[in-house]
Amino acid sequence: MEKPKFLPIWIGLFLIIVFLLQNLFSDFTDIFLLNQNSLEEPWRFLTAIFLHGGVAHLLYNLFALIFFGLTLERLIGSRRFLVFYLISGILANLASFWFYPSSLGASGAIMAVIGCVAVLRPMMTVWAFGVIMPMFILGIIWIIGSVLGIFGLGEAGIGHIAHLAGILIGVLYGFYLRLRRSGAKNNSFNFNRTIVIPEANIRRWEDWNLR
């Protein structure tokens, strides 16, 4: 496994810089957020991942990204984490594009990270909603909350579809990694594998048995 590069922290710093640019330049957010022009301006499916609608939105995402992101990076490696994070964010934006006139935020990608960690480390304990619970329970709660939000039972102004899409992407990828890892363990004994015996051992055996 490659040495972790602490990418979630670097991504978090980049999110802070982008948020400062959003507040310094009035048209910055409009150029990069996800809206109904995104099919003609496809970069928005990526750039919207790095935008935020306010300080609270940014801080919440930063906390979740660093806490769960560092865990996932340690489990799957830095390069794989970065690719997974970006692709998950794009796919979550593709899902939300059809339902919202405009949206922004890293929540879809971060929910994918949470979903993946919940599958890879289901019994990891976390503090959430005022109690300590296993990671898989937290994942289930977020899935239920997103589903309820889609039907209007959650807080308004939140991209529940992007959240649900992200966490489901993470869960699917987590199961893929578990199955792949399980298959590698099952195939660890290969009947076609060449067995190499050091020459010194062969000579020792010959000296002992053929003298």
Write the pLDDT tens digit of every residue in 100-154: 899 999 999 999 999 999 999 999 998 888 889 999 999 999 999 999 988 888 7
Catalytic residues: 107, 163
Cβ atoms within 10 Å of 15's Cβ, excluding its own = 20
CATH number for the segment(s) 7-188: 1.20.1540.10
pTM of the model: 0.82
* Beta pairing partners, 103: 34
User: What are the angstrom distances between the C-alpha of 203 and each of 62, 140, 194, 195, 196?
Assistant: 62, 61, 19, 17, 14
Lowest-pLDDT range, 7-11, 111-115, 159-163? 159-163
88 in Cβ contact with 166 (< 8 Å): yes
190 in Cβ contact with 129 (< 8 Å): no
* Sequence ranges of the domains in the chain: 7-188
* Predicted local confidence at residue 211, as pLDDT: 44
pLDDT digits (tens, 9 = 90+) for 104-115: 999 999 999 999
